[in-house]
Amino acid sequence: MKTKYQVTLPDALRRQLPVGVGDLLEAKVEKGKITLTPKSVVDRDIAEGLEDFRQGRFIGPFKSAKEGIRALRRAARAAKCSTPFLTSSSAITKPFPLRKKAAQRP
């Protein structure tokens, strides 16, 4: 154990598991032993998405999928993205205001 309570896994042990540098491990204490379990990337993506939501980096809600797709495309253009899809690293930092439909003429 190092001064910052970091632990190094022996090479022979690491080779038996599908873990690499930067991977997440969940630590649990069970019956006086510490158990490390690899966490999937999906867990990390979910955590990032929830943090984006908490910070107000979202758009919507939408009444239809079509309305949502239009809003995503507008937000992507506003963020000057090369793709119409948003990621957690997009420049959107506030909810995207939706335009109200103009009254239809008779």
User: Are residues 67 and 81 located together in one domain of the fold?
Assistant: yes
Query: pLDDT band at residue 6, thresholds of 50, 70 and 90?
Result: confident
Task: Express the helix, strand and coil content of the chain in percent, nearest 5 each.
Answer: 30, 10, 60
Q: Is the peptide bond before 61 cis (omega within 30 degrees of 0)?
A: yes
Q: Is 35 helix (H, G, I), strand (E, B) or coil?
A: strand
CA dist., res. 65 & res. 33, Å (int): 49
pLDDT at 54 over 80: yes
Range of the domain at 73: 60-87
Predicted local distance difference test score (pLDDT) of residue 93:
47
User: Are residues 46 and 67 located together in one domain of the fold?
Assistant: no
Domain-located, residue 97: no
Domain-located, residue 94: no
Predicted local distance difference test score (pLDDT) of residue 85:
52
Domain-located, residue 5: no
User: Are residues 43 and 26 located together in one domain of the fold?
Assistant: yes
Domains contained in the chain, number: 2
Domain-located, residue 75: yes
Contact 86, 72 (CB under 8 A): yes
What are the tens digits of pLDDT across the range 25-52?
A: 888 998 999 998 888 767 777 888 888 8
pLDDT at 90 over 50: no
